[in-house]
């Protein structure tokens, strides 16, 4: 009997080979089309999977679509991507305002702002509409997954995937296991991470995990150095880049992350752990109050042009 015949017989007998862990997820939904949501969508689509993005209103949805297209166009200009690759990526991304369209997704990733009550509300809704076997993922960087999972009826299928910005270019993702997350869920998400080109690092649930907890004090100290007039923002970043082989200096890094996001991380860690190294620098609070949020608004510690490059 030919191999083809054997495959058909296995199919008839219900004994076809099982999918590997990383092949069990074919379509992914993302709720939240901010900078992180856009980056996650691009990364997943680049791996050949269909992506559905849900936003709260038409204005944010259209802005997200425009920003993602502009980001990829800049990559084309830098020869990091071809126009055909961009078209292929965008063709696999669907945009919607209707959260009910997530019902058939194999995996749903929440990528909204770092607000505990908002995330709880979203997970409650997702638990109601998603297939029983669907895994729900949070991109939280500081909040308790166990407390978020408590509001669902699928605690074993709740896990964290903390991506770092810019998502398509950073090769690591933190896998955060909540108290009741099953080993099966962990293995499936490990496979998924591999499929989208990420190295998965398993971390225990703890405020800030590894990457956020380690980077926040560095960013905060750089801000204090600036506040105290020790050096200019440019010189602080130059010293750290050349002295420690950083690709970007801490202040430019904060601008890229979004100063409102950085402030939210600091406040969460300061409130949870109560350690002075996490207490937000006053200059950060001032910039956020003035809506100078970094690269996404055109000004933070630096001023940026329309292509996101620092103005001299």
Backbone angles phi, psi at 140, to 5 degrees: -55, 145
To the nearest 5 percent, what fractions of the chain are helix, strand and coil?
50, 15, 35
User: Given phi > 0 = left and psi -120 to 50 = alpha, else beta, which region is 136?
Assistant: beta
pLDDT of the residue at 8: 45
Residue partners of 180: CB distance under 8 A and separation at least 6: 146, 149, 155, 156, 158
Q: Where are the beta strands (DSSP E) in 205-282?
A: none
Tell me the whole-structure pTM to 2 decimals: 0.84
79 three-state secondary structure = coil
Residue 156 near residue 180 (C-beta atoms within 8 A): yes
Sign of the alpha-carbon dihedral angle for 219, 176, 45, 61: negative
pLDDT of the residue at 21: 53
Residue 68 near residue 108 (C-beta atoms within 8 A): no
Which of 103, 109, 94, 95 has its CA nearest to residue 133?
103
pLDDT of the residue at 165: 87
21-204: which CATH topology?
A: Rossmann fold (3.40.50)
Q: Residue 109 gets which letter from DSSP?
A: E
Token match 């980056």: residue?
Answer: 39
CATH architecture, domain defined by 212-297:
Orthogonal Bundle (1.10)
H/E element, 1: none
pLDDT of the residue at 4: 44
Note down pLDDT in tens along the chain; length 312 residues. 444 444 443 443 444 445 555 557 889 999 999 999 999 999 999 999 999 999 999 999 999 999 999 999 989 998 989 999 999 999 999 999 999 999 999 999 999 988 999 999 999 999 999 999 999 999 998 889 999 999 999 999 999 999 998 899 999 999 999 999 999 999 999 999 999 999 999 998 888 899 999 999 999 999 999 999 999 999 999 999 999 999 999 999 999 999 999 999 999 999 999 999 999 999 999 999 999 999 989 999 999 998 788 987
305 three-state secondary structure = coil
Q: Which residues of 221-259 are buried (b: 16+ CB within 10 A; e: fewer)?
A: ebbebbeeeeeebeebbebbeeeeeeeebbbbbbbbbbb
Domain residue extents for the chain: 21-204, 212-297
pLDDT of the residue at 19: 55
CA 267 to CA 161: how far, in whole Å? 21
CA 208 to CA 216: how far, in whole Å? 9
Structure tokens at 103: 């019902």
């Amino acid at each position: 009997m030919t191999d083809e015949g054997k495959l058909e017989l296995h199919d008839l007998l219900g004994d076809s080979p099982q999918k590997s862990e990383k092949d069990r997820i074919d379509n992914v939904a993302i709720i939240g089309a901010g900078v992180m949501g856009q980056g996650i969508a691009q990364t997943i689509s680049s791996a050949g999977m269909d992506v559905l993005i849900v936003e709260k209103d038409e204005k944010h949805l259209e802005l997200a679509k425009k920003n993602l297209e502009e980001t990829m166009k800049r990559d084309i200009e830098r020869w990091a991507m071809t126009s055909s690759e961009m078209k292929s990526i965008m063709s696999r991304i669907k945009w919607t305002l209707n959260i009910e369209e997530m019902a058939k997704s194999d995996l749903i990733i929440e990528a909204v702002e770092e607000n505990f009550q908002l995330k709880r509300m979203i997970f409650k809704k997702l638990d109601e509409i998603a297939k029983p076997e669907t895994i729900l993922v949070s991109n939280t960087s500081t909040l308790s997954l166990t407390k978020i999972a408590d509001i669902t009826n699928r605690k074993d299928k709740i896990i964290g995937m903390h991506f770092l910005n810019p998502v398509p270019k950073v090769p690591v993702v933190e896998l955060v296991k909540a108290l009741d997350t099953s080993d099966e869920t962990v293995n499936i998400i490990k496979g998924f991470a591999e499929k989208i080109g990420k190295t998965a690092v398993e971390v225990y649930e703890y405020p800030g995990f590894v990457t956020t907890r380690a980077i926040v004090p560095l960013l905060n100290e750089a801000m204090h150095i600036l506040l105290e007039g020790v050096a200019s923002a440019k010189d602080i970043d130059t010293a750290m880049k050349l002295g420690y082989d950083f690709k970007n200096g801490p202040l430019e890094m904060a601008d890229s992350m979004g100063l409102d996001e950085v402030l939210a991380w600091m406040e969460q860690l300061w409130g949870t752990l109560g350690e002075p190294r996490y207490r937000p620098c006053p200059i950060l609070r001032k910039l956020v109050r003035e809506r100078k949020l970094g690269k996404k608004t055109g000004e933070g510690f630096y001023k940026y042009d329309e292509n996101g490059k620092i103005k001299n």
